Amino acid sequence: MPELSLTVSGAPATLAYSDVGHGPPLVLVHGFPLDGRIWDDVVPLLLERSIRVIVPDLPGFGRSKLEASAFTMQSMADSLVALLDALKLDTAVFAGLSMGGYILQALVRISPDRGAGLSFVDTKASADDEKGKAGRDAMIALAHEQGTPAIVEQMLPKMVGPRTKEGAEIVVARLKSIMLDQPPATLAAACAAMRDRADFTAHLSSLPCPLQILAGEADAIAPLEVQRAMHAAAPGSRLDLVPDAGHMAPIERPAEVARLLADFAGGIRHAS
Ligand code: MLT
């Protein structure tokens, strides 16, 4: 697996990624507390639809290293720009799952010309409210004091929809094992970065590229009303809802997610 050396928040880091297939490039950005494996079932289906698929592990997650003890959504977005530069790509379509979506929101603000299209997957445009920020602080303390398993125990029940929880134990077990692999220091830093992220809502009306809003209908973390409000605030956006999926639509309903992502990315290719 290729790896890029870079700096994140002034400290050395690496970004491991896969880059497979031919066609319009689509970068799949994972969420928290995960890594690029969350897209494993989606990738082969996108390849069948003639899309080039690039999947990074963000610095500090999965196979990528991070020496900084703190980072921001913007510094993670900078690492995606560095990846495009290394691959000599002026633009790509980006899909970001939840925290991955927050990172794309930072990316479009710092480098508005690098996204040919954006897919916000199970994510939100609003910043954390006071209750949300207090929850992040509690999770930071939990990560430092009890480590990754305590975070997994707290988060796992909210990650998937009822259909997955009851009928797809293997999917839940895979998800859990990806979550357990993430270092607690990265999880604490990510919680602080998400707590401090800027509100993106005002930018939805003037995005420089097409927007897809894609979400599991049973997402408990970024619920349906949030998805509908984003769609209403972003003229020309498309809203694609995935039945029987929660916050982890790409691992819960990969065929449906791949179809919708390919349709969006393919539409951009035809339009350009
Ligand atoms: C994620 O899935 O990336 C996180 O749940 C996002 C969040 O906690 O806001």
Q: Average the pLDDT over 204-213 and give the result.
A: 97
Tell me what the pLDDT averaged over the chain comes to.
96
More confident residue, 269 or 23: 23
Does any ligand 1 atom lie closer than 6 A to the CB of residue 102?
Answer: no
More confident residue, 146 or 270: 146
Per-residue pLDDT at 272 exceeds 50? no
Among residues of the chain, what percentage have pLDDT more than 70? Answer: 99
Cα–Cα distances in angstroms (integers) from residue 220 to residues 42, 89, 162, in the given order: 22, 35, 10
CA angle 190-191-196, nearest 5°?
95
Question: What are the two backbone dihedrals, phi and then psi, of residue 66, each rounded to the nearest 5 degrees?
Answer: -150, 125
- The percent helix, strand, coil of the chain (3-state, each to 5) is 50, 20, 30
Q: Average the pLDDT over 138-158 and give the result.
A: 97
Banded pLDDT at 270 (limits 50, 70, 90):
very low
User: Ligand 1 pocket test: which of 98, 126, 128, 137 has the largest number of ligand atoms within 8 Å of its C-beta?
Assistant: 98
Gap between the terminal Cα atoms of the chain:
31
Q: Average the pLDDT over 46-66 and give the result.
A: 97
CA distance 256 to 250: 8
Consecutive H or E run containing 213: strand 211-216
Whether the pTM exceeds 0.85: the reply is yes
Does any ligand 1 atom lie closer than 6 A to the CB of residue 125?
Answer: no
Does any ligand 1 atom lie closer than 6 A to the CB of residue 98?
Answer: yes
The pLDDT tens digits for 209-266 are 999 999 999 999 999 999 999 999 999 999 999 999 999 999 999 999 999 999 999 8
The pLDDT of residue 267 is 87
Banded pLDDT at 159 (limits 50, 70, 90):
very high
The pLDDT of residue 271 is 37
Nearest CA to ligand 1 atom 7: 99
Q: What is the Å distance from ligand 1's center to 22 Cα?
A: 31
Q: Average the pLDDT over 142-156 and give the result.
A: 98
Banded pLDDT at 269 (limits 50, 70, 90):
low
